[in-house]
Amino acid sequence: MVVKAHASTLDEVARLAGVSKATASRAINGRSKVSAKAQAAVLDAVRELGYTPNGAARSLVMQRTGSVAVILPESDERVFSDPFFARMLHAVARALRERDLQLVLLLAQPGDESRMLLYLRGRYVDGAIVASHHRDDRLAEHLSDLGLPCVFIGTPWLGADRVSVVDSDNAGAAAQAVRVLVESGRRRIAAIAGPRDMRAGHDRLAGWRQELEAAGLDSSRVAYGDFTEHSGTTACAELLDADGDIDGIFAASDLMALGAMRELEARGLRVPDDVAIVGYDDLGVAERTQPPLTTLRNPIGQMVTEAVRLLTETIDQGGRGAPRHVVFVPELVRRDTV
């Protein structure tokens, strides 16, 4: 005859540790609101009793995984080289940690989302935060169809009315950059725009163009980049080759502004004496350029905090509730390039 060993319970762990069942559960699951003394007592009791928590059963009962996906439809090379993603992921991880939630990072090349969607259909996460989406990825529609709670950082091209969105006023900030350049006496102002298939790139270019036209100035000086330093250098060279009389540049990211400044220096043009320049982001690059870059501060920390708040509220409501849209206003940071 085989005699099964007694399986210890959470109640027994709590009694042996001299704490409540709720405190024992928080300690076992790595929650933050447990004293060091209680944590040590619970872990000692777990070892003595040989207690093994049944995570799968707990998830079935609670219908929660304790995890949130951060979806970035970008290559790993791009994600791990761009300061925007570093700052965003740091902010997301911190905000989720404060709510005892685990971050799961999902990368997918634009247009190749099938494996990621298969994973999400399995409900291995309670919700998702999506950033850096592109015109053709259709993620808002896919996640809405799945019924998965989600919040987009940045407005998606398609399905924006079906999901919650946290964004910055990209067009308004770009218009502010133009006003700063015009007020400094610049009249031949070019744009180094972001990718055509990204809403942020489109909106920043639209704001630049509308403000120039409102001031009665030419809005034809445009070259496109992909938010990287190299693309800023290439775009600046394209603009100068077409019109060497440019006296101002709005770059839709600080990395592209840095690339443009390197090209201006290579051609013997001084910033801001010959060409003034304004960037966008202020995520650690702008203060290190020579001279330090005037830029628009992308409020990524506030946006992430709000996105996590909206997402956790939706999860707590069982995925119910109307989508909400929140827009933050970037702040102009004046330095020495205008």
Check whether 3 has a pLDDT greater than 60: no
| Length of the chain counted residue by residue | 338
Q: Domains in the chain, please, with CATH?
A: 10-53 (1.10.260.40), 67-168+300-329 (3.40.50.2300), 170-297 (3.40.50.2300)
Highest mean pLDDT among 26-40, 94-108, 293-307: 293-307
Tokens at residue 48, please?
């003595």
pLDDT band at residue 181 under the 50/70/90 scheme: very high
Check whether 314 has a pLDDT greater than 80: yes
* Element containing residue 163 per DSSP (H, E): none
State pLDDT tens for residues 280-310.
999 999 999 999 999 999 999 999 999 999 9
Residues 6+ apart with CB under 8 A from 98: 32
Give the full edge-to-edge strand order of the sheet including 150-153.
Answer: 102-107, 67-72, 127-131, 150-153, 164-168, 325-328
pTM: 0.79
State pLDDT tens for residues 40-62.
888 888 878 877 665 444 444 44
Tokens at residue 159, please?
């399905």
